Amino acid sequence: MEGRERRVRGSMRQLAAPIILATVLGLSLGCTPTSSAGEEPDDIVYTPGGITYRANVHEQGVANPWPSIQSSTVVRDDNVTITYRADIETRASESRNNIVFIKIPDRYGFDTHNLNLSADNVPDGIHIEEGEGGGGLPGIMAKVLIIEISKGVKPGEYSFEINVEFEGESFGEIPCTLKVVQS
């Protein structure tokens, strides 16, 4: 009986590591079978490829409760590529996230602390601040802009510009439109 118990315990230990690894990996990828209360499609999740939106990561074989969040890409001088959400739909009194990705040719070692984002021409009732940065695929860095919409903002379209600067070099402004819809 004792030998059998050892084999069972050994088998359980062998299974435990893959189960724990799969669970941790799934959680780190933001995999959930359904949306939970309080989760939003543009919540930031951390994946092995860097930060992304919750709606863009889901478990294989399980229906994603949200459509993917679409991004726009602009190419600046010297083939600097900036990818971000140009159009965001929300309700008043909510907070939205906009991940700004930047790729500079022939640059691979980035420190996101040197990537600075700010906004100009921000309409009243909308507050924008720079959030955390996140690692990503080689040669790409990312940082989050947090957009807070106050309760008193009326439905309509609101535009502003996002300034992108890395290591003191400006890559200009990129336009963003915020569409506030009825609650």
The class that CATH gives domain 70-183 is: mainly beta
DSSP letter at 92 equals T
Low-confidence residues in the chain, pLDDT < 70:
1-37, 135-136
Domain with CATH 2.60.40.10 in the chain: 70-183
Residue 117, classed as helix, strand or coil, is strand
pLDDT at 37: 53
> Considering the entire predicted model, what is its pTM?
0.76
pLDDT at 22: 35
pLDDT at 106: 81
The 10s digit of each residue's pLDDT in 91-119 is 999 999 999 999 988 877 777 888 899 99
Return the closest-CA partner of residue 82 out of 166, 168, 148, 177: 166
Other beta carbons within 10 Å of 84:
22
Q: CA 149 to CA 66: how far, in whole Å?
A: 21
